[in-house]
Structure 1
């Protein structure tokens, strides 16, 4: 199919960006409950909302593709708005399990597929038929960097065949657990003997119920073996309470000779609970009878703000000295602690016990019995065997990952970062996987399920089902591992342990929490099983899916042509393979028999990982070459496998520091786009996906770009022409004004306009096989980006001609002076160019000149009772500034601003909106971050203002405007 006949998809024209970004940000907020990502931790996952919307827009035809069905621009606009509403309905997290909303989205995809085949889609009222049609005739979706599985999962949710691959076996297993395993057993009842025989089991409900049941069995079996290692806490009244966690502090021999070699604590904070009026904290008490002459004592009560600040410091010193000796007050330097740690001479001392009370935490001073119960395990045979065998590989160094590393303090192997009791418990649970697998298999056969091939060989019978349950239970162990290491922090604000890999690093933790893994607490094994069981219920469990372990550059794509959507690694981003070993070593111990191919290596593959890591490739230059060669091979393989009827989407994760230091033509961005173009793709869209919890710019600077850019790519025809620099620029000037207007209409704010404008600009550039410079050399992407930005700025300048003369003067003055004062003489000269006097500008309510000094009026100085319907000297500058004034005013807000929009003519309102983009651009170039924020705010709020204005007009009789614009619009 040629470019001329290929039907444009919605994503190539317009998407409801604001709704997508809002849903993506909400999805990342805490407290939304069980989520598919909760099955297993993986890093930098794209929000499901964004993936769902992008895939839908990749497959659904834009109305302009069907002129016989939508013959006018107005008809196409209405249809486009209808499709936008479908996306808006399906992106909220709450909609991800709403079958009515999902069936509507599936039918729209089926309709586009059917129309393209000259067929009619199945009836919307028959969801099963629609799903069957999509499974058979819609293009399969393939993600060659599937990572945590977001894209295949959302492809499956939309009823499409889902394929994915990744080099990392942990990522592969996570994706299999999300999309490949659940459909195999969808609709089947659980096999455990406690199942409800009268219940109808839908989707993955049976699977989830068995994970919970057999997780409870594992927990009970573990208690029989190691329950004595987890004693209850003794309360002051002699009663007992369940332990939530033990809090430990590392110790080091004091370097001060006055301390006589005594070990002293290294504590980052003594605070246990920060609940106002009910604070709890630890104190170090001198006690000659205690070990090393001191002991910990827990105190509860009320603290002043200053007292709490002091206690929060623990035994920390300033930046140069890490800690202070509690016995002598002398500094203990960080280098000394590191050398003692590497020599194996750091100790640990029980600091406090956290027990469960009546809807509260009880904090208790250390107990000798609890200290001895944990410490005697250091000589345990099972513990030492684990440290010497599967946990003997090295933890990351500072060269491997950003952020702190515990290896600098002697925790140089995975075995070192767990306490003896943690190792005893985790290896006990891991060894139970074999037993539970046999138990599930027996129960499944008792239910009439026959034996068959294992899950790793695509089996679906009793052995395969047992393998599936074992896989999810191994994930529960991994979740427990994440909450049960000596790098776990205790959070005094919410009074619970925090996971080890809360960020993409393994920093040293000096005072740490040890969860009571057998109890129903955060970090407990059964709560992990219960949580994973609930997460399983959130996966669609429909259709076909297949995930393989394949290196992306050498991927020959077992299914083709395919709709390609992927989130590749950023060229110098963190190497996840190193961090993934934290989980891999435990998964391999638990599941080596279940997934023999995935766990054939001792550790995850590293050399092939497509990341520019200098330490691995002998320097920065070699590392970047490795990345670009690999990414070029990957993109070429993608181009060869891509469906010609639909665009390919590639998510590109931006780094704010990269943008700030190098601008839009940064080496990573330009090199990546060059690789995309060299692979034979036309880049005709760059949609900014903002996935953080707030899209506002406050506190982030005016040029804080979206966290991801979605590139929309189509195959360049082999007959693509060669052109010259002059023709390229001429075409940019012809096509970009209309494209920029469409981008604004799609809801892209000023902060993301420069990036979004690269889409149509790069679409022009990459549509040619070559763009030749005057010396016949081939133009690079870096040069093309610079030219696209120049043309965009030129277009913005040309738009100034559409504003009234007073506004054009204000723009010129703003560029020169901002909101600061200048000389009246300069103002007179600039005003004369527009046939204006300073009196005209003052009468218009935009300028102030007195005593040889002139300046723009600040928004706070403008008339609070200003109304466009009564202003006989109305300017677009006023329209924009007064709207911002009301949006910023706590007594004004959206409603008052919308009332002003309702009084403006459509032309004036559109001019006010366009001016916000223009002024933002000026601020961004000048580095006026605070002023830029308000113009971005207005531009982003404008669609809401227009909607609210319509309601306002409907509620109020339209005022008759009797205006004389001749004085200012010449």
Structure 2
């Protein structure tokens, strides 16, 4: 069935849906009667700092907690009446509880559902419109041998050092790690050029656990001559230089705007085109033989090598892989174009382009095995986020802050260029990124399980053994008709569809895809259209759900996670369920995003609602008795904010007219 959603089109379920015959017998499952939402919310909070090697190989921007997905998968196949004790036994065990089942995720994104299903012994199928998603998930489901990948990595790094170590000139007793710089911008009002900075602090030693130990409490710079000042006391408020006093906490960029020192007119990054502005290198941070770091002023050799890098890149550019294409002007997020950056190549320095281009060329010329070539390319792709012009610095901890740390093209006032060839320090070096991919072949993961005796989470070491289960992962629009020969029947579908109040992840992944010639998606992302947003989003999602109904085997329900404090978002979910002929058999609140700082701001949802649904055949309409007050009470001592109260109310309102129970 092909669906054309034109502006103003009003489509209804009765016009387009032909009821799918049900299985001879419809049976309820555990998730439709019981689910440990409160306990899982606590497990999710405990797991938030646990790094799972499978997911650490490459960044993805929207991952549901693995603990939630594991629980949903188990509860979706168990019959009602299974005890809480038995559920938690299965959750904590390494047995293949989904052996013989096929699990499908049509919006696989970073692949968490498929990885958790594979660990439970299922065969898995997944699709996404984004080529970067396909690259990441294939690597997660079939990781290469880590030790062999490390050997390839040694050869790659040896090649890069032999060809490009001159880009990062070293002292006899120290090696450069970070290059600090600020933008020199021109005021649109008076045309005066001046430095853009938030404050004068480059690094600080806060005496905190995990922070870099330094020889000085603070290192600050003079905004006039760039001289470095090493301050012994953390309580110093100012520096003296160039015949003036400067408060180290004050800068020219405050309250989201640059304040011109000459005319005091405030200008935004859009007006300044800061991303395209000339940058002034302030300092080079080096690692020393004694393990300490030091900052020094840039010297003539540093400047000469940067100029040589510009010439080398111009000469070698035609022969090296590099990001191609312009950044689309029609975007939901106007950045980074609003910074004055119009091409993806402009997001990288000539040094970075040389190193990354040489790395990809060596991989393509010297690694014949497809799986190892893809694994190394994935490592270089991940290194892009820490080797570009938009990287910042965690001043108190001494760590580079990668692009997309907060899901967007942010532009730090103090930017840092990493030496990607450094082998012993630095976040996001090529060696570190290769190691992250190499570690993804481990089956040992330390996560939390629920201790029924103490009624508290406790750590547990899982050893997940791979059975080499078959998997199908392809670039595919979830709304397109299934290829019956390529896609088999499915037993379980657990997924996280795009949200109505969306973040356009394809605009973020495009930063990576530009290096691989994969700018085109497999179809339009599932987003509301400006005309009839509720209807357009709901009908597209409904068509995806219909695809799952057509391929469902047996009578297990579907389950997906969703949240929004916007009533239109939940109305769109209702449109989707009606189009696919599905009823709601249960809703479960689950706290999944509270640990993320940018989700914790007032007005943002921290709780998901798990929507459990199934075809109407074999069910009977029933009154929905849950109330928001009951949900909130059952979740204590966990807190629910005002945005999630609205989120819960809208979810329940959507479900009331669509609620049913299995016969």
Take 1:758 and 1:250, find their aligned partners in 2: how far apart are those partners?
A: 46
Residue 406, structure 1, aligned to residue 424, structure 2: no
1:766 corresponds in structure 2 to 658
1:683 to 576, 584, 596: 584
1:214 corresponds in structure 2 to 152
Q: What TM-score results when the alignment is normalised by the length of structure 2?
A: 0.80
User: For residues 775-795 of structure 1, what are the alpha-carbon distances to aligned partners after superposition, in whole Å with 9 as ceiling and x for unaligned?
Assistant: xxxxxxxxxxxxxxxxxxxxx
Q: CA RMSD in A?
A: 3.7
Take 1:481 and 1:305, find their aligned partners in 2: how far apart are those partners?
A: 37
Residue 609, structure 1, aligned to residue 525, structure 2: yes
Take 1:227 and 1:19, find their aligned partners in 2: how far apart are those partners?
A: 52
Cα 1:35/1:747, change in 2 over 3 Å: farther
Contact 2:477–2:522 (CA under 8 A) maintained in structure 1: no
1:418 corresponds in structure 2 to 348
User: For residues 436-485 of structure 1, what are the alpha-carbon distances to aligned partners after superposition, in whole Å with 9 as ceiling and x for unaligned?
Assistant: 313xxxxxxxxxxxxxxxxxxxxxxxxxxx11111111111112111000
Cα 1:680/1:488, change in 2 over 3 Å: same
Contact 1:211–1:533 (CA under 8 A) maintained in structure 2: yes
1:245 to 165, 173, 178: 178
Write out the 4+ residue segments of structure 1 that deviate beyond 6 Å after TM superposition: 1-4, 254-257, 386-389, 698-701, 737-750, 752-764
Matches within 5 A, 1:299-310: 299-304=230-235, 306-307=237-238, 310=247
Take 1:609 and 1:421, find their aligned partners in 2: how far apart are those partners?
A: 34
Residue 567, structure 1, aligned to residue 496, structure 2: yes
Matches within 5 A, 1:175-324: 175-179=137-141, 181-182=142-143, 207-233=145-171, 239-253=172-186, 263-276=193-206, 278-284=216-222, 286=224, 294-304=225-235, 306-307=237-238, 310-317=247-254, 321-324=257-260
2:436 to 531, 534, 550: 531
1:164 corresponds in structure 2 to 126
Cα 1:83/1:15, change in 2 over 3 Å: farther
Task: Please report how far the alpha carbon of residue 548 of structure 1 lies from its aligned counterpart in structure 2 after TM superposition.
Answer: 1.1
1:576 to 501, 505, 509: 505
Residue 671, structure 1, aligned to residue 602, structure 2: no
Task: Please report how far the alpha carbon of residue 524 of structure 1 lies from its aligned counterpart in structure 2 after TM superposition.
Answer: 1.2
Task: Please report how far the alpha carbon of residue 13 of structure 1 lies from its aligned counterpart in structure 2 after TM superposition.
Answer: 0.9
Take 1:269 and 1:349, find their aligned partners in 2: how far apart are those partners?
A: 15
Take 2:94 and 2:435, find their aligned partners in 1: how far apart are those partners?
A: 27
2:11 corresponds in structure 1 to none
Matches within 5 A, 1:314-713: 314-317=251-254, 321-325=257-261, 329-331=262-264, 333-334=266-267, 338=271, 346-357=277-288, 358-382=290-314, 385=317, 391-395=323-327, 400-402=331-333, 405-438=335-368, 466-520=369-423, 521-538=426-443, 541-542=466-467, 543-556=469-482, 558-588=487-517, 599=518, 603-605=519-521, 608-612=524-528, 620-621=530-531, 625-652=535-562, 654-655=563-564, 659=565, 666-693=567-594, 706-713=606-613
Task: Please report how far the alpha carbon of residue 704 of structure 1 lies from its aligned counterpart in structure 2 after TM superposition.
Answer: 7.2
Take 2:133 and 2:109, find their aligned partners in 1: how far apart are those partners?
A: 5
Contact 2:313–2:353 (CA under 8 A) maintained in structure 1: no
Contact 1:577–1:604 (CA under 8 A) maintained in structure 2: no
Structure with bigger strand share is 2
1:40 corresponds in structure 2 to 58
Contact 1:401–1:505 (CA under 8 A) maintained in structure 2: no
Cα 1:376/1:175, change in 2 over 3 Å: same
Contact 1:248–1:512 (CA under 8 A) maintained in structure 2: yes
> Structure 1: which 5+ residue stretches go unaligned?
64-78, 91-100, 110-133, 183-203, 234-238, 287-293, 439-465, 589-598, 615-619, 722-727, 770-970
Contact 2:534–2:568 (CA under 8 A) maintained in structure 1: no
Task: Please report how far the alpha carbon of residue 738 of structure 1 lies from its aligned counterpart in structure 2 after TM superposition.
Answer: 12
* Bigger RCO (CA 8 Å, 6+ sep): 2
Take 1:707 and 1:283, find their aligned partners in 2: how far apart are those partners?
A: 44
User: Which secondary structure does the structure 2 equivalent of 1:536 belong to?
Assistant: coil
Take 2:308 and 2:415, find their aligned partners in 1: how far apart are those partners?
A: 19
User: Which secondary structure does the structure 1 equivalent of 2:341 belong to?
Assistant: coil
Task: Please report how far the alpha carbon of residue 395 of structure 1 lies from its aligned counterpart in structure 2 after TM superposition.
Answer: 2.8
Cα 1:331/1:18, change in 2 over 3 Å: same
Take 2:43 and 2:546, find their aligned partners in 1: how far apart are those partners?
A: 33
User: For residues 623-667 of structure 1, what are the alpha-carbon distances to aligned partners after superposition, in whole Å with 9 as ceiling and x for unaligned?
Assistant: 555433321211221222223421111121x24xxx2xx5xxx01
Residue 716, structure 1, aligned to residue 605, structure 2: no
Task: Please report how far the alpha carbon of residue 423 of structure 1 lies from its aligned counterpart in structure 2 after TM superposition.
Answer: 0.8
Matches within 5 A, 1:842-861: none
Task: Please report how far the alpha carbon of residue 306 of structure 1 lies from its aligned counterpart in structure 2 after TM superposition.
Answer: 4.8
Contact 2:321–2:361 (CA under 8 A) maintained in structure 1: no
Take 1:531 and 1:686, find their aligned partners in 2: how far apart are those partners?
A: 37
Task: Please report how far the alpha carbon of residue 173 of structure 1 lies from its aligned counterpart in structure 2 after TM superposition.
Answer: 1.4
Cα 1:607/1:622, change in 2 over 3 Å: farther
Take 1:606 and 1:572, find their aligned partners in 2: how far apart are those partners?
A: 22
Cα 1:13/1:467, change in 2 over 3 Å: same
Take 2:266 and 2:601, find their aligned partners in 1: how far apart are those partners?
A: 35
1:173 corresponds in structure 2 to 135
Take 2:393 and 2:132, find their aligned partners in 1: how far apart are those partners?
A: 27
Take 2:657 and 2:86, find their aligned partners in 1: how far apart are those partners?
A: 29
Task: Please report how far the alpha carbon of residue 226 of structure 1 lies from its aligned counterpart in structure 2 after TM superposition.
Answer: 0.7
User: For residues 136-158 of structure 1, what are the alpha-carbon distances to aligned partners after superposition, in whole Å with 9 as ceiling and x for unaligned?
Assistant: xxx31011111100111111000
1:83 corresponds in structure 2 to 86
Task: Please report how far the alpha carbon of residue 716 of structure 1 lies from its aligned counterpart in structure 2 after TM superposition.
Answer: 0.7
Matches within 5 A, 1:93-132: 101-103=93-95, 106-107=96-97
User: Which secondary structure does the structure 2 equivalent of 1:621 belong to?
Assistant: coil
Take 1:53 and 1:388, find their aligned partners in 2: how far apart are those partners?
A: 46
Cα 1:544/1:512, change in 2 over 3 Å: same
Take 1:86 and 1:691, find their aligned partners in 2: how far apart are those partners?
A: 22
Task: Please report how far the alpha carbon of residue 334 of structure 1 lies from its aligned counterpart in structure 2 after TM superposition.
Answer: 2.3
Contact 1:28–1:692 (CA under 8 A) maintained in structure 2: no
Q: Aligned residues, how many?
A: 596
> Structure 2: which 5+ residue stretches go unaligned?
1-20, 208-215, 240-245, 444-463
Task: Please report how far the alpha carbon of residue 83 of structure 1 lies from its aligned counterpart in structure 2 after TM superposition.
Answer: 2.5
2:38 corresponds in structure 1 to 18
Cα 1:4/1:140, change in 2 over 3 Å: closer
Contact 2:560–2:611 (CA under 8 A) maintained in structure 1: yes
Task: Please report how far the alpha carbon of residue 252 of structure 1 lies from its aligned counterpart in structure 2 after TM superposition.
Answer: 2.9
User: Which secondary structure does the structure 1 equivalent of 2:72 belong to?
Assistant: helix
Task: Please report how far the alpha carbon of residue 248 of structure 1 lies from its aligned counterpart in structure 2 after TM superposition.
Answer: 1.6
Take 1:750 and 1:420, find their aligned partners in 2: how far apart are those partners?
A: 49
Contact 1:649–1:713 (CA under 8 A) maintained in structure 2: yes
Cα 1:157/1:335, change in 2 over 3 Å: closer
User: For residues 326-380 of structure 1, what are the alpha-carbon distances to aligned partners after superposition, in whole Å with 9 as ceiling and x for unaligned?
Assistant: xxx54364259745659x6x21221111011334321112222112211332233
User: For residues 171-190 of structure 1, what are the alpha-carbon distances to aligned partners after superposition, in whole Å with 9 as ceiling and x for unaligned?
Assistant: 011111111x24xxxxxxxx
Contact 2:117–2:124 (CA under 8 A) maintained in structure 1: yes
Task: Please report how far the alpha carbon of residue 687 of structure 1 lies from its aligned counterpart in structure 2 after TM superposition.
Answer: 1.2
Take 1:330 and 1:635, find their aligned partners in 2: how far apart are those partners?
A: 59
Cα 1:173/1:210, change in 2 over 3 Å: same
Please identify, of 421-430 and 620-629, the stretch whose mean Cα deviation from structure 2 is larger: 620-629
User: For residues 503-538 of structure 1, what are the alpha-carbon distances to aligned partners after superposition, in whole Å with 9 as ceiling and x for unaligned?
Assistant: 221123343111111112222111111122113324
User: Which secondary structure does the structure 1 equivalent of 2:165 belong to?
Assistant: helix
Take 1:510 and 1:499, find their aligned partners in 2: how far apart are those partners?
A: 14
Contact 2:48–2:595 (CA under 8 A) maintained in structure 1: no
Contact 1:17–1:748 (CA under 8 A) maintained in structure 2: no
